[in-house]
Structure 1
Amino acid sequence: MKRKAALFLSMILVLSTIFTGCGGKGDPDSEVKENMSDVEQSTETRQEAGTEESVQSSDTTLQEPVTIRFAWWGSQARNDQTQAVVEAFEATYPWITVECEFVGWADYWDNLSTQIAGGDMPDILQHDYRYLETYVNKGLLEPLDSYVGKQINLDDVDESSLSGGKVNGQLYGIPLGMNTFAVEYDQTTFEKYGVQIPDNSWTYDDFVDICRQFKEQGIYGCDLTNFEDWVLYYIRTKGASLYSQDGEGLGYEDDSIMEELFQMRLDLVKEGLLPTPDVANQASGTEDSLIVRKEAAMVTYWSNATAAVANATDNVIKCLPMFGPNADKGTYIKPSMFAAISATTKHKEECAMLIDFMTNNLDANEIMMGERGVPISSAIREALKPKLSETEQAIFDLLDYSQTHSSPIDKPDPEGAGEVVTLLQELEEQVLYEQITPAQAAASFRSEATDILTN
């Protein structure tokens, strides 16, 4: 009798577990049906985009609850979109809870360093090309190759799109989008002042001429941003690179290249075509930049930032490739940012599932609409095309153009690249305030950058 009673109680407990699930809220039958409905709808959505669900449990109620932390940087628009994507992911995989951590770019890496030092690194994190190799060399990131074909489906992704996320032949970052360094412009402002929008073959002289036309109207031609990206681009137009591609140190020999760059920026600021640093630094981020304030007609950002600028203004914002000469040599397609997994997380598979969701789920990509860059999945790109806004279409068109008007990307930035960028910014500001000459800045940059990179 005791054995029969024990068996009877065990059966009741099993049935209770099946019907109550992880949450134990509301009508058990209704909750199970809703969860399964969400799963089926997500699977149908992905099949519409030409993909299949890489990971799917036959019964979500049997999964153990898991919580993962996801950290990213970006604009407020990106934050809002990502929160919506996370909610959709949690609805599809109700046993996974995602805790979100969001700050701006300026604070992101300092915050991350503090968390790592305290043994509190996020489980999944947005990562950047500049720091990927550094984090890999420190053993902080999980190789993702073993998750491909299981939790992460990359069937619709070209191998070329993944190369930027590889270090020493292993995949450590899945691009959340692809982009290129570009000139964002305010089409409404161009039309208002009767300034002709250039075509994709424009040159630096065209850029200066357009800036002068806007100066006559009382606004800046372009905002003062991203000097380091001008440097990376411009040196490539000369057939060299900022960092050595086969050793340590810098990748160019002729300091006149850097001197010319410093002089170029100084001339633009002195003529009033670009703002001085004190004016530019008043902006608190992309959504507060001079182009959003309608105090500048153009700004140089990475192409995916076009969406953030457009979201912050009622004007029509579009983008152009960087000006020449030799634009095809200077231009390159870059992972806008990566999704990476902490080497120390206890929930690697769940993190990989979130990466797959952001890569392949059509609903998720309809929320983001290329804000992190043009999606790497060809099936998702094709599915999104009919739904793109005017600005989003311009971003996609620019990436299509750049695919055939660019050169291969340089290898990931070496350790110390962050310090080199800070040095560049400091020297540029000294040049723009005429505290040092462009020639002195170029010489100082070689000396100090070489010391950073070799030590």
Structure 2
Amino acid sequence: MFSKKRATAAIAVATGAALALAGCSGSSDTADTYDPNEEVTLDLAFWGNDVRAALYDEAIAAFEEEYPNITVNSSFLGFPEFWEKRQTEAAGGNLPDVMQFDYSYMRQYSQNNLLLDLDPYLGGIIETDALPENVLSIGVVDGVTTGLATSTNAWGMYTNPTLLSNVGVDEFAGGSWEDYNDWMAEVTAAGDGEVWGGTDWTGRIQNFEIQLRANGGELFNEDGAAGFDEEDLAAFWEQGDGIRADGTVIAQQKLEEVYPLSSFDSALTASELTWDNFGSGYLGNLGEAYPELGLIEPPITVEGSQDLYLKPSMLHTISSSTEHPEAAATLVNFLVNSPESGRIFGTNRGLPASETALAGADLDPLSQQIADYEASIEDRLGDAPPVPIVGFGSLEEKFRVLGTELGFGTVTVDDAVDQFFTEMDVVLNS
């Protein structure tokens, strides 16, 4: 049987400088197989709760039955504590062999040579036939594959069919951002102070990103340079002036009153632009009065553009310091690709990225809806953008905060642009 370690204490955060000093070579001698007679023990770390831990226990048991010479010791923590411990381990050069990984940390750990180069194992130990190219490219940093997506999500628009029926307005039929504003205004008018069409979509950096991508741009390039200037950002935020002023979108004060719920899962707004894996949370918060959701593509900026992309819900990586890279790659392949893994995890880690894992999953109605949605936007899916720059999370939060202040009217667009670029200068030059 496999052994389990249940770590529960938070670990102090290590400095970025310590991470850099801890880095070692991320390359590996290529090997197609490992010695099946060699007894190997691997450490596997993931974030989650007891439900996810039980699923990993089941997956590990299935893996060890197939590979009896490999023993897997697993440990899990909550998300913040998980990364605190990883930073401490990175500083000491003793990261776990295999790690569940978040996209926002990929560049930091990859550029500090803390993650194994997986390219020598792709197409060999790690099967790639079931992973589309746009999924494989998600885990590439500076031309090197250091992570494999376990699952994907895409930017979309959730709607509330029951709420729309109650106010007597049809589903958004698609179209431009101006068409979407008009539709929201229709819903808001019909809602008579009780229901609004949506929120100010200029408060989300992802909507800015897909407008940039529609015009051939991007937020940041592979070198970490911004792909937009002050005029681009000002023009984007100015698109929200009208819908904020005329009451098309729900007022910022009303949003504060229902926080931490959103206006969408409080049944105050009929639409929400967000990642498609948020659906189960919405259904849970809305309750039995709202038993279904609509899921449609976001408004179109430029017809025929590939502005959308698949983003990893999470990835699996291998430490560059592992003593057993072939065995670790075998475990990663099982967790990402095997039908057994798909059957066990279902959509707990998001919609399986691998076609073979997806085939093994028993999808509930919402998960099937998400799978159908991602298939429906295939023509709008482009290559994933470069892995986020170090510090992207703080910029995303600054963008959100400034969007809130624009909603309250406490800053002008010009002031917001100045503040964002000041913050960005700090992040990019730190």
The TM-score normalised by the length of structure 1 is 0.72
Give the drift of 1:224: 6.9
Letter in 2 for 1:184: Y
SS at match of 1:133: helix
The alignment status of 1:260 with 2:235, answered yes or no, reads yes
Residue 218 (structure 1) aligned to one of 194, 211, 236: 194
Give the drift of 1:237: 2.9
Q: Which residue of 2 aligns with 1:355?
A: 332
Give the drift of 1:442: 1.7
Letter in 2 for 1:173: G
Q: Distance in 2 between matches of 1:192 and 1:132?
A: 45
2:137–2:384 CA contact under 8 A, matched in 1: no
The alignment status of 1:207 with 2:180, answered yes or no, reads yes
Q: Which residue of 2 aligns with 1:306?
A: 279
Q: Distance in 1 between matches of 2:374 and 2:418?
A: 36
Structure 1 residues 351 and 301, CA, compared in 2 at 3 Å: closer, same or farther?
A: farther
Residue 365 (structure 1) aligned to one of 335, 342, 347: 342
Residue 112 (structure 2) aligned to one of 122, 138, 144: 138
Q: What runs of 5+ residues in structure 2 fail to find an aligned partner? A: 4-31
Q: Which residue of 2 aligns with 1:31?
A: none
Structure 1 residues 421 and 57, CA, compared in 2 at 3 Å: closer, same or farther?
A: same
Q: Which residue of 1 aligns with 2:16?
A: none
1:142–1:342 CA contact under 8 A, matched in 2: yes
Q: Distance in 2 between matches of 1:310 and 1:251?
A: 36
Structure 1 residues 419 and 373, CA, compared in 2 at 3 Å: closer, same or farther?
A: same
Matches within 5 A, 1:70-219: 70-72=45-47, 80-81=51-52, 83-93=54-64, 96-104=71-79, 109=83, 112-114=86-88, 116-117=90-91, 121-199=95-173, 201-212=174-185, 213-214=187-188, 215-216=191-192, 218-219=194-195
Structure 1 residues 432 and 186, CA, compared in 2 at 3 Å: closer, same or farther?
A: same
Letter in 2 for 1:417: F
Letter in 1 for 2:141: V
1:68–1:351 CA contact under 8 A, matched in 2: no
Higher mean C-alpha deviation, range 131-140 or range 142-151: 142-151
Give the drift of 1:166: 1.4
Residue 325 (structure 1) aligned to one of 281, 297, 301: 301
Letter in 1 for 2:147: G
Number of positions where the alignment pairs a residue of Structure 1 with one of Structure 2: 389
Structure whose alpha-carbon radius of gyration is higher: 1
Q: What runs of 5+ residues in structure 1 fail to find an aligned partner? A: 1-20, 24-53
Q: Which residue of 1 aligns with 2:27?
A: none
1:181–1:303 CA contact under 8 A, matched in 2: yes
1:234–1:330 CA contact under 8 A, matched in 2: yes
Structure 1 residues 22 and 369, CA, compared in 2 at 3 Å: closer, same or farther?
A: closer
Letter in 2 for 1:166: V
Q: Distance in 1 between matches of 2:166 and 2:404?
A: 32
Give the drift of 1:194: 3.0
Give the drift of 1:308: 4.1
Q: Distance in 2 between matches of 1:275 and 1:84?
A: 42
Letter in 2 for 1:169: G
Give the drift of 1:348: 4.3
Name the one with the larger helix percent.
Answer: 1
Give the drift of 1:162: 0.5
1:224–1:277 CA contact under 8 A, matched in 2: no
Q: Distance in 2 between matches of 1:411 and 1:332?
A: 11
Identity of aligned residues (%): 20
Give the drift of 1:136: 0.7
2:63–2:331 CA contact under 8 A, matched in 1: no
Give the drift of 1:222: 3.2
1:165–1:173 CA contact under 8 A, matched in 2: yes
2:125–2:329 CA contact under 8 A, matched in 1: yes
SS at match of 1:407: coil
Q: Distance in 2 between matches of 1:112 and 1:380?
A: 27
SS at match of 2:129: coil
Q: Distance in 2 between matches of 1:277 and 1:97?
A: 50
Give the drift of 1:303: 1.8
Q: Which residue of 2 aligns with 1:406?
A: 381
Q: Distance in 2 between matches of 1:202 and 1:362?
A: 38
Structure 1 residues 295 and 446, CA, compared in 2 at 3 Å: closer, same or farther?
A: same
Q: Which residue of 2 aligns with 1:423?
A: 398
1:187–1:316 CA contact under 8 A, matched in 2: yes
Structure 1 residues 388 and 445, CA, compared in 2 at 3 Å: closer, same or farther?
A: same
1:69–1:100 CA contact under 8 A, matched in 2: yes
Give the drift of 1:438: 0.6
